[in-house]
Structure 1
Amino acid sequence: MTQPPQPPNEPPQGGFGAPQDTPPGGFGAPVPPPADPFGKQPATPPAGGFGAQQAQPPAGGFGAPQTPPAGPPQQQPGYGYPQQPGYGYPPGPPAGQGLPPGQPPQQGYGYGYPTAPMHPQYAPPQQGGQGGKKFTPQMQIIVAAVVAVAVIIGGGIFLASGGDDKKNEVSTAGPTGGDKGGEGNSGGDGAEKAPANVKSTVAFQLPQPKVDDVTTVDGSWLTDKAYVKTGVDEIVGYDKDKGTKLWSIPLQGQLCAASRHMSKDYKTAIVFEEGKPTKAKKYPPCNQVGGIDLNTGKLMWSKPVTAATSGDEPVRFDEVTLSGTTVAAGGTEGGAAFDLNTGAERWKPKADTDGCYDKGYGGGDALAVVRKCGTYDSPQLVIQALNPTTGAPLSSFKMPPGVDYASIVSTKPLVVAADVGDTAGDGSGISDFFSIDAATGKLLTKIAADGEKYAARCGSTEVETCQQLAVGNNRLYLPTEEHEGTGEYGDTNEIVAFDLTTGKLVGDKADAGDRYTLSPVRMDGGNVIAYKAPPYDKGGQIVSIDGETFKQTVLMENPADEAVREAESGFTADYSEILYKGGRLYLSSRTLSKANGSLDEKRYLAMAFRTD
């Protein structure tokens, strides 16, 4: 895994009240107001499990009605085109899959965690990265041959996913909240069914807009009529089958963060800059919180908020989530909450004598917070389940010493991921998963997440950015790292599951198949919707995996035509938003970067596939 970016060099500031936790939610998934946000889990002693577990994102898709999921990845240019690392991230290793002899591997992104680059006001200095996937002997030979040919020739020559659950679902980008699969289903009962013909066609492609700097375009959602995607200084609704523009919401500054969740009536929350860049202020602060109606294409309200310690200076936020009708925004200056429909303040950062502040929240079916206390050099993190309306803590769990940052994978059940003592060593931001009884704050089990075995990832400095995992059936579903398959050139992997009460591996496993790589996208009832990244000569697939038997059903198979393959390969599970619902698959970028000449002319903001 890649090396995560270093935390910003600024000490924590006082924040609102006692530690609170926001349940993680799915990007754009409908979030019903939780009456009893946290179902009590049986209090059993912690049990170590085989291998490591990683925080699992809520089932659901980035912007589609879903249960809370994963954090936001960076955009990657189209297949075969040079890529640029996100702001403040070092360059990454080659990431080609199943490459034939003589074909150079695709350039990958940096060793930072897979999420949109941090806004420049928070970004740490760029560092060189080391690590990444290990090359097999065959791949080393291939790469060496490609380099030699290039020299001879002339010395110069890329889920959190749409949801169809009754509750919120999460995208691969971000893990928070749970759907009905998290309440004890034993597999099956999913809404997604295989069509008569699983072969898909390209529905539409959205060209990448021109930008002069790294630009965050986090956020994509699905309504019953529209596919909604963040653009440059705007959020646009497109016809979900044709890609024609239905409406646009202009923003006074570029978007900084977007909720993975949305309400049942298709409303969600965003954070954006106070204005456009100028010579005097190249990077305007992210201090505007807003509520948007994805049905009508309207910005319902937007406002800044001040803290007791900041005078008249608006608080800066770097993430936002949604639970019921509560919008919760967090950052190093503390957290604040607003009514989704009116923008009325529910709570705001306050002076705190113990130096505590709300770092960030997880939303979806419940609300939870990562609360940071202590000093910058010796922090104490507390995970709290919160009353979404008042912000009052319902329970608290102290993270062990040596945890500088923590991520909320799911809020119902409450699952947290962290890199304890910086021991992960793979840039994933995960050394352990913590399954917590949200009603009592008692630890049910801790699951060690061996970076050599499992491939889920979480942002090191943001709370709701985990991806490539799913939570349901009281299980955490994780992909294994890629490894050699049975073929000569291709790698493969599997999806496995851990019990959230015992911490043990349970059930069978789902095999990706030779030269394919599986990544969980979201839960669908008791099933796991997963994306299968293809080899160089095939199209990707969407499969439904029975959460109990691990039997796979192919829901979609994309075209193998060269032009389509090249476009699809520009979007990967690590750095893209993946939404799937009802025979429609949407892949989109999370960040944009300045084009580098003609080789970058075929880069896309998003592309869509359909099976009928």
Structure 2
Amino acid sequence: MSFGPPPSAYTQSALAADQARRRRRNRILGGLAGGVLVIALCAGGLFLSSAGDDGAPADGKVAAGAQQPDEIRSTVEKAPRSPEGREVVEHSVEHLEKHTDGNPLYAPGSWATAKIFARGIADHVEGYRIEPHYDEKVWTLDLGGHICATSRHVTADGRTAVVIQPPKSATDPGNGVCDQVVFFDLDTGRKLWQKKMPAADFAYVTNTDLTLTKGVVAVAWGHGSVAYDMKSGKQLWNTTTTAQCADQGFAGGRALLALAACGQAPDTTYKVQKLDPRTGKNLWTYRLTRGVSRVYLPSSDPPVLAVAAGDTQVTDLITLDDQGRHAATVPLKGYDAKCGDRYYGKIFFGVVENCDGIVVGPTQAYVSSKENIANGQPGDWIVAFDLKTGKTGGKFDGRDLQKVYPLRMSGDDLLIYREGAGAVGLAGLVSWNPRTDKETPLLFFELPQDHEGELSDPERTDILAEEGNIFFGPRELVRDDDSPKDAVLVAVGFGSAGLKH
């Protein structure tokens, strides 16, 4: 089960380091478990450039003709007749006796369609039927090798991809290389194609990034990159390590951005390029100054960069115009971008696109604040920043003991998850219009008490809102030390108890 150097996810050194990491913190909400009260439905120039989610029908589904099958899905949620939630998915896995805090079973990747909530688990993907009071695993896609990288993107007709290790045998245990791309259908679990990445001898779980854009699947691993046609699996283009700068990762969606690193540490510099997805041709380049230690790409269109200047934590957002020219720099002191924070800071399963505290819309970027521990005040808040000017353009407050997290755009509105607080208030999915400051409740529900802290933490759990439902998928599965043989929750989801308009 080795992911190979550098370093293996399952070497003894990594396991020893795991013992010291922060684990499963006790939340103040734990003491509030009990009855649930009825709640109201409504809450009240650092870097220099050298320039060289569309709306869909209001029923949350992609209508015929609105998006082509190969486009990346972009849906708009509509308020149901009743925001009262009911459970529509709950599934657990068994036989985790050997998986402790220091040796978790990784579950990378969560995706949802109108019919299926799917989870990646180690070396396979499982699809669960979305239906109230009914637990059914509809399909299992056996990948043969462990998952190395995933993408949050899904096509308009419900397809996505993963990067995996090649299948192992007793005589060939492998060396942890991640050199296979698998493209599959989420509704059926059917593998559509599988391809071996060229010259990927140094692609590992620690450096491989995967994304999707219209008609194209793209992978980069710091020593090369490759792009495939979605329909046929045909290779479109690739790069090698002979270039002075190497692709570290991509951002997909409506466009394709590449993050390239140039030179050797500690003198590495970075540049971001917009590419033609079909040819790999460079359309423009934005270069960052020296002193930047990490770069993330939370959005390709509009192009937005999250950068760590002089530290490993993100310090600034940089917004660009459609020609790759600098538009604004937003200092993030007091904010929590949550870039690279999954798996307790390990660089596993792809990190370039993953900033769980940032959502980018057509004209604004929405960023989570750091936690506020003052009693009687909001637990945190989300601030909107104008992409052209960097100025603030609205603020959405959490509640005392109920933090809020941005999930994704729904047209021009922001979908937000609000934590539950035991007897104080239910968890909720709401839509926020930053132009009018109107909050629209979509769902209210109660998470399982024993799992509320973990499920509500975007650093530990995938949280998805899609097709009128909200889903939660823990990324690390470990046994209950008190009952090691008990099944462990891998998926739970909620939908409306009432019909939609």
Calculate the TM-score normalised by the size of structure 2.
Answer: 0.79
In the aligned structure 2, how far is the partner of 1:204 from the partner of 1:319?
29
In the aligned structure 2, how far is the partner of 1:331 from the partner of 1:436?
25
Residue 344 of structure 1 corresponds to which residue in structure 2? 234
What displacement does 1:196 show?
Answer: 3.1
**2:478 and 2:488 in contact (8 A); partners too:** no
Aligned pairs for 1:95-114 (under 5 A) are 95-98=26-29, 100=31
Which digits, 9 at most, give the CA deviation of each residue in 1:24-59, with x for residues without a partner? xxxxxxxxxxxxxxxxxxxxxxxxxxxxxxxxxxxx
Residue 443 of structure 1 corresponds to which residue in structure 2? 326
* Matching residue within 569, 587, 595 for 2:453: 569
2:436 alignment partner, SS class: coil
In the aligned structure 2, how far is the partner of 1:260 from the partner of 1:101?
33
In the aligned structure 1, how far is the partner of 2:17 from the partner of 2:436?
39
* 1:363 paired to 2:252: yes
What displacement does 1:438 show?
Answer: 3.6
What displacement does 1:100 show?
Answer: 4.3
Q: How many residues align?
A: 437
Residue 78 of structure 2 corresponds to which residue in structure 1? 193
Q: CA 1:583/1:267 → structure 2, altered by over 3 Å: closer, same or farther? A: closer
Unpaired runs of at least 5, structure 1: 1-7, 11-83, 104-161, 168-176, 181-189
* Matching residue within 438, 462, 477 for 2:366: 477
Q: Which moved more, 1:293-302 or 1:599-608?
A: 599-608
In the aligned structure 2, how far is the partner of 1:197 from the partner of 1:238?
24
What displacement does 1:376 show?
Answer: 2.3
Residue 404 of structure 1 corresponds to which residue in structure 2? 293
* 1:384 paired to 2:273: yes
**1:273 and 1:288 in contact (8 A); partners too:** yes
Percent identity between matched residues is: 27
* 1:457 paired to 2:343: no
1:553 alignment partner, SS class: strand
Q: In structure 1, what residue type is equivalent to 2:314?
A: I
**1:483 and 1:491 in contact (8 A); partners too:** yes
Residue 165 of structure 2 corresponds to which residue in structure 1? 273
**1:456 and 1:478 in contact (8 A); partners too:** yes
Of structures 1 and 2, the one with the larger relative CO (CA 8 A, separation 6+) is: 1
Residue 153 of structure 1 corresponds to which residue in structure 2? none
* 1:579 paired to 2:467: no
Q: In structure 1, what residue type is equivalent to 2:332?
A: A
Which digits, 9 at most, give the CA deviation of each residue in 1:173-200, with x for residues without a partner? xxxx9998xxxxxxxxx94333333221
Q: CA 1:92/1:402 → structure 2, altered by over 3 Å: closer, same or farther? A: farther
In the aligned structure 1, how far is the partner of 2:215 from the partner of 2:337?
29
2:416 alignment partner, SS class: strand
Q: CA 1:102/1:225 → structure 2, altered by over 3 Å: closer, same or farther? A: closer
Aligned pairs for 1:118-517 (under 5 A) are 164=60, 191-211=76-96, 212=98, 213-241=103-131, 242-276=134-168, 281=173, 284-307=176-199, 313=201, 315-316=203-204, 318-354=208-244, 356-422=245-311, 429-439=313-323, 441-450=324-333, 453-459=334-340, 462-487=351-376, 492-507=379-394, 509-517=395-403
Q: In structure 2, what residue type is equivalent to 1:257?
A: A
Q: CA 1:392/1:204 → structure 2, altered by over 3 Å: closer, same or farther? A: same
2:273 alignment partner, SS class: strand
Q: In structure 1, what residue type is equivalent to 2:402?
A: Y
* 1:590 paired to 2:482: no
Which digits, 9 at most, give the CA deviation of each residue in 1:37-96, with x for residues without a partner? xxxxxxxxxxxxxxxxxxxxxxxxxxxxxxxxxxxxxxxxxxxxxxx9996972258351
Q: In structure 1, what residue type is equivalent to 2:295?
A: A
What displacement does 1:209 show?
Answer: 4.2
Q: In structure 1, what residue type is equivalent to 2:141?
A: I
Residue 522 of structure 1 corresponds to which residue in structure 2? 408
1:570 alignment partner, SS class: helix
**1:369 and 1:385 in contact (8 A); partners too:** yes
In the aligned structure 1, how far is the partner of 2:120 from the partner of 2:158?
15
**2:210 and 2:250 in contact (8 A); partners too:** yes
In the aligned structure 2, how far is the partner of 1:527 from the partner of 1:88?
41
What displacement does 1:101 show?
Answer: 9.1
In the aligned structure 1, how far is the partner of 2:318 from the partner of 2:72?
15
Flag the structure with higher strand content: 2
In the aligned structure 1, how far is the partner of 2:84 from the partner of 2:112?
22
In the aligned structure 2, how far is the partner of 1:567 from the partner of 1:519?
18
Calculate the TM-score normalised by the size of structure 1.
Answer: 0.65
In the aligned structure 2, how far is the partner of 1:91 from the partner of 1:568?
18
2:310 alignment partner, SS class: helix
1:566 alignment partner, SS class: helix
1:195 alignment partner, SS class: coil
Q: CA 1:237/1:412 → structure 2, altered by over 3 Å: closer, same or farther? A: same
1:388 alignment partner, SS class: coil
Unpaired runs of at least 5, structure 2: 8-14, 35-55, 64-70
